Amino acid sequence: MMFTSITLRYIGEKLSIDSISTSLGVLPTASGSSGDSVKSTSGKERVLKAGFWEWSIKAESDQINQINDQIESFGSVFNKVLDKLGSQLGCSHSWIDIHIIEDAENFPVSLPINSKSMSILSKAGLLIDLTISN
Q: What beta strand segments (E) does 13-112 contain?
A: 30-32, 37-39, 45-47, 51-61, 93-102
Structural domain harbouring 47: 2-133
In one-letter notation, the amino acid at residue 97 is D
% of the chain exceeding 70 in pLDDT: 93
Per-residue exposure over 74-91, b if at least 16 CB sit within 10 Å of its own CB, e if not: bbebbeeebeebeebebb
Q: How confident is the model at residue 35 (pLDDT cuts 50, 70, 90)?
A: confident
Q: What angle do CA 71, 106, 99 make, to 5 degrees?
A: 30
Q: Read off the pLDDT of each residue in 112-118 and give the average, rounded to a whole number.
A: 91
Alpha helix ranges (H) inside 34-134 = 66-77, 115-124
Q: How confident is the model at residue 100 (pLDDT cuts 50, 70, 90)?
A: confident
Which of 58-62, 75-79, 117-121 bottoms out in mean pLDDT, i.e. has the lowest? Answer: 58-62
Structural domain count of the chain: 1
pLDDT value at 78 more than 90:
yes
Distance (Å, whole) CA 2 – CA 76? 23
Question: If we measure between CA atoms, which residue out of 123, 124, 59 comes closest to residue 96?
Answer: 124
- Cα radius of gyration (the chain): 16
Please give the model's pTM, rounded to 2 decimal places. 0.86
pLDDT value at 62 more than 90:
no
Residue 53 or residue 38, greater confidence:
53
Q: How confident is the model at residue 109 (pLDDT cuts 50, 70, 90)?
A: low
